[in-house]
Amino acid sequence: MDYVSALLPPAVMAVLFIGVIRVIVKTQGGANKTKEDAAVDAALARVEGAQPPIKADA
């Protein structure tokens, strides 16, 4: 019975991991995709706008 106690935790973790991946894949897209993409684009623009320009030494 030692093999059962050795294999049970990895098996449970594998099942939970597959469940998490399925939820992530199912929630991609949909009605909020455009809004989420716009929020990410706005955040990236803010971060890029806050950084000073890099000077190239040539």
pLDDT at position 43 is 93
CA end-to-end distance (rounded Å), the chain: 69
The Cα 44–Cα 7 span in angstroms is 44
Classify residue 47 as exposed, middle or buried by CB count within 10 Å of its CB (0-12, 13-18, 19+): exposed
pLDDT at position 56 is 66
pTM score > 0.85 for this model? no
Tens-digit pLDDT profile for residues 1-58 = 788 889 999 999 999 999 999 998 888 877 778 888 889 999 999 988 876 666 766 5
pLDDT at position 32 is 78
pLDDT at position 27 is 82
Q: Domain residue spans in the chain?
A: 3-50
